[in-house]
């Protein structure tokens, strides 16, 4: 049965506000058939072939069940590039794009091909779809990027994205919470930059999370226990103390409720120049800190 654009988005109103329902259907039509808003307004939806109508209906069934449109289409754009996404990885968010932009601004340095400097070594912890690692590898010249995740399925998705987008990333399976199993880099292997967007939503905040996130996105990449909301920041901070070169920086995306706590934690671990930065919505979303080897007592 043929459906108009208006009929399509009205099917989603029980799940979304009208404007969001319209946006979801527009995104579906764009990613499936390359339809612009002009195409939609001019009635191109009504002109789809029977085969395309059947494809569209199958996707709409998934949307009506509450599945995120990014999983339905299998694609989300991040920093202008299409990333494959599925239930094994979080859907990249605008805040994480801003994290990459902050890093690009801080490390925007001239590159001389005739006398190239030593490559800058970068580690992305909890890479998921690979969006941070791949973006930095492609946007920062002369960079060697390593990316870790605890999920083999996530690493498969990230490798697929890196291959398709032409990024050279060293993907590795590691659990940052298992400090005894982590590689201890020698002086030549230390990093200038470590970045992470770890799980940071407390279990008690679940009730405020949309059902399409709770029901479909991987919980292990979202939530932390109420009694230890900084567990990943603490583990990463301890590892960064030994894995960063002197003067190296640590970049975090954080729960706005705990930004000051994360900054205080890093200062207690001998990080200096600790800074909290806001996201586009005015929330304390990022924490940046620098390590100075002179001030570090690694034994503590």
Q: How far apart are CA 278 and CA 260, in angstroms?
A: 12
Per-residue pLDDT of the chain (300 residues; tens, 9 = 90+): 678 899 999 999 989 999 999 999 999 999 999 999 999 999 999 999 999 999 999 999 999 999 999 999 999 999 999 999 999 999 999 999 999 999 999 987 665 555 567 899 999 999 999 999 999 999 998 999 999 999 999 999 999 999 999 999 999 999 999 989 999 888 778 999 999 999 999 999 999 998 889 999 999 999 999 999 999 999 999 999 999 999 999 999 999 999 999 999 999 999 999 999 999 999 999 999 999 866 555 444
Pairing of strands 81-84, 143-149: unpaired
Q: How far apart are CA 32 and CA 26, in angstroms?
A: 10
Reduced 3-state DSSP string for 13-37: CCCCCHHHHHHHHHHHHHHHHCCCH
Inter-residue contact 84 to 164 (CB < 8 Å)? yes
Number of residues in the chain = 300
Q: State the pTM of this model.
A: 0.92
DSSP conformation class of 76: E
Tokens at residue 221, please? 């990449």
At residue 299, the pLDDT reads 44
At residue 300, the pLDDT reads 42
Going by C-alpha positions, the residue among 165, 91, 74 that lies closest to residue 128 is: 91
CA atoms within 13 A on the CB side of 167: 29
Going by C-alpha positions, the residue among 132, 38, 157 that lies closest to residue 81 is: 132
Tokens at residue 236, please? 């990463």
At residue 175, the pLDDT reads 97
Strands (E), 46-190: 75-78, 81-84, 120-125, 143-149, 169-173
At residue 7, the pLDDT reads 93
CA atoms within 13 A on the CB side of 268: 9
Going by C-alpha positions, the residue among 125, 153, 151, 123 that lies closest to residue 137 is: 123
């Amino acid at each position: 049965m043929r459906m108009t654009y208006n009929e399509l988005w009205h099917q989603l109103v029980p799940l979304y506000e009208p404007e969001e329902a319209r946006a979801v259907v527009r995104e579906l039509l764009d990613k499936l058939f390359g339809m612009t808003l002009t195409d939609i307004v001019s009635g191109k939806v009504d002109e789809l072939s029977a085969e395309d109508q059947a494809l569209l209906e199958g996707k709409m069934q998934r949307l009506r069940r509450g599945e995120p449109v990014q999983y339905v289409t299998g694609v989300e754009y991040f920093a202008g590039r299409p990333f494959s996404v599925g239930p094994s990885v979080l859907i990249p968010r605008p805040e994480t794009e801003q994290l990459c932009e902050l890093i690009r601004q801080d490390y925007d340095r001239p590159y001389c091909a005739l006398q190239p400097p030593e490559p800058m070594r970068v580690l992305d912890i909890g890479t998921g779809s690979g969006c941070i690692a791949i973006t930095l590898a492609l946007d920062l010249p002369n960079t060697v990027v390593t990316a870790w995740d605890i999920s083999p399925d996530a690493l498969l998705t990230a490798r697929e994205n890196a291959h398709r987008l032409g990024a050279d990333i060293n993907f590795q399976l590691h659990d940052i919470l298992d400090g005894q199993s982590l590689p201890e880099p020698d002086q030549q292997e230390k990093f200038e930059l470590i970045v992470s967007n770890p799980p940071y939503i407390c279990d008690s905040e679940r009730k405020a999370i949309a059902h399409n996130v709770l029901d479909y996105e991987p919980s292990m990449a979202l939530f932390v226990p109420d009694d230890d909301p900084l567990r990943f920041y603490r583990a990463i901070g301890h590892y960064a103390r030994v894995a960063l070169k002197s003067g190296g920086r640590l970049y975090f995306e954080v729960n706005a409720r705990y930004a000051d706590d994360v900054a205080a934690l890093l200062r207690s671990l001998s990080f200096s120049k600790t800074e909290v930065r806001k996201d586009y919505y005015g929330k304390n979303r990022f924490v940046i800190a620098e390590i100075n080897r002179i001030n570090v007592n690694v034994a503590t």
